[in-house]
Amino acid sequence: MDSRIRVALAPTRDTTFLVATDAGGNEILKARLAPPAPVHPRAAWTLLEGLSLWCRAPLSVVVAVDEEAASSGWPLSDGFGRGYPAVFSEVAVVARPGHRPPDFAHLRRICRRGVR
């Protein structure tokens, strides 16, 4: 069984949605955070590293972005939509369907699938 904590993030212009589930699929964290633009460039990495250390498990992170967020220099990925690797996690970037705002139900579905 995969012991990774699965994290789904959806940054928007106004807010950042986050859902994390444990290896059994149980929700362990749900948050609505500030948008990524005005925060410190290392804030996302620090948050994820802290979660990994707290849970004593590596993370599988999926960042669901629309075209605007993908081009805004989201700190967990390069400009080509590839996630930066880290010691504590693997990161994938996926397109968020349509132009509707993200919701927690969509992020829970992403957590069930994980990084592919």
Show me where the domains of the chain are located: 5-113
pLDDT at 35: 86
What is the pTM (predicted TM-score) of this model?
A: 0.79
> What pLDDT is recorded for position 71?
44
Does domain 5-113 correspond to CATH entry 2.60.120? no
- Tell me: the pLDDT tens digits for 21-37? 998 889 999 999 988 87
Per-residue pLDDT of the chain (116 residues; tens, 9 = 90+): 568 899 999 888 888 999 999 988 899 999 999 888 787 878 888 898 899 999 999 898 888 887 655 445 456 655 555 555 565 677 777 777 666 778 888 888 888 876 65
The single residue listed with the structure tokens 């955070």 is 33
